[in-house]
Structure 1
């Protein structure tokens, strides 16, 4: 895989798909390449280059984690009288609130939401910014 595709696979992952899906969807759109020997060498080179770029960004990720340490993210949600929220809290809404409240831009796929965030209250949110940098922070879901 050259890019993340929802419900199919992540970037740089080697997957097996049906012939038609790969030939008619993934390959023409540049989302994947065929996993032969020469392409595997190309993929390994791409992985090595991107890991080097991520290593350069490590200080930026540590600074982000330091900025978010001890902070509480407030997210407004519509809720019923029992405190149960309508709909759900999504990674996109968390991403937008992180940008608005703290000025920190985090990719959606790096946000791990707690499964039990269905009611008003405080939950623990995990941000996996880098393989070496993981930051937990409090997320408070409040009624609008």
Structure 2
């Protein structure tokens, strides 16, 4: 018996999978429990179309993330900060300041979860910050922290 799973079934498959099961198992357990539906040609076509749409959306997201990565690699991000005589910042530069600097220089809007910063930046100089634009697309942004003029 050919069925489409409505929910994840341990040992059988995930929601949306088309599975072949014994007639008794399908008729006596999966169908009455609402775990599956008969796999008609219409339902199979709907599942295939939904999967095609998901793949296309995923491809577009990946392309957009790659375009942003290429833009960020070419962008020099400079942040001016007040420092003491030893080159230590008064305060620190965190994720919010990095997001603002990137947006003002490149018009790319980042979210807090995209910026990976191990600890706040407290010194002048070059710092590398990892930006995760998509689960498959990351880039390293070089941040140049310079002393602000007084």
Alignment of 1:122 onto 2:123: no
| CA separation of 1:114 and 1:93: change in aligned 2, threshold 3 A | same
Seen in structure 2, the aligned counterparts of structure 1 residues 76 and 51 have a Cα distance that, compared at 3 Å, is farther
- CA–CA distance in structure 2, aligned partners of residues 71 and 55 of structure 1: 25
Question: Does the 8 Å contact 2:93/2:120 carry over to 1?
Answer: no
Provide the aligned length of Structure 1 versus Structure 2: 96
Q: Report the 3-state secondary structure (helix = DSSP H, G, I; strand = E; otherwise coil) of the residue aligned with 2:128.
A: strand
> Would the alpha carbon gap of residues 103 and 111 (structure 1) be closer, same or farther in structure 2, given more than 3 Å must change?
same
- In the superposition, the TM-score normalised over structure 2's length comes to 0.57
Q: Deviations over 1:94-114 (max 9, x none)?
A: 111111011111111110125
- Is 1:99 the counterpart of 2:103? The answer is yes
| Structure-to-structure mapping, 1:46-61, within 5 angstroms | 56-61=60-65
Give unmatched runs, 5+ long, in structure 1: 1-49
Aligned to 2:146: 142
Q: CA deviation at 1:116?
A: 6.7
Report the Cα offset of residue 117 of structure 1. 2.3
User: Which structure has the greater CA radius of gyration?
Assistant: 2
Alignment partner, residue 18 of structure 2: none
SS at match of 1:57: helix
> How far apart are 1:138 and its partner, in Å?
0.6
Name the structure with the higher strand share. 2
Q: Alignment partner of 2:122: what SS?
A: coil
Distance 1:51 1:115 in 2: 36
Structure 2: segments with no counterpart, 5+ residues: 1-53
* SS of match in other structure, 1:118: strand
Q: Residue 123 of structure 2: SS of its match in structure 1?
A: coil
TM-fit CA distance, 1:90:
1.2
Match of 1:66 in 2: 70
Contact kept? 1:74, 1:141, Cα under 8 Å? yes
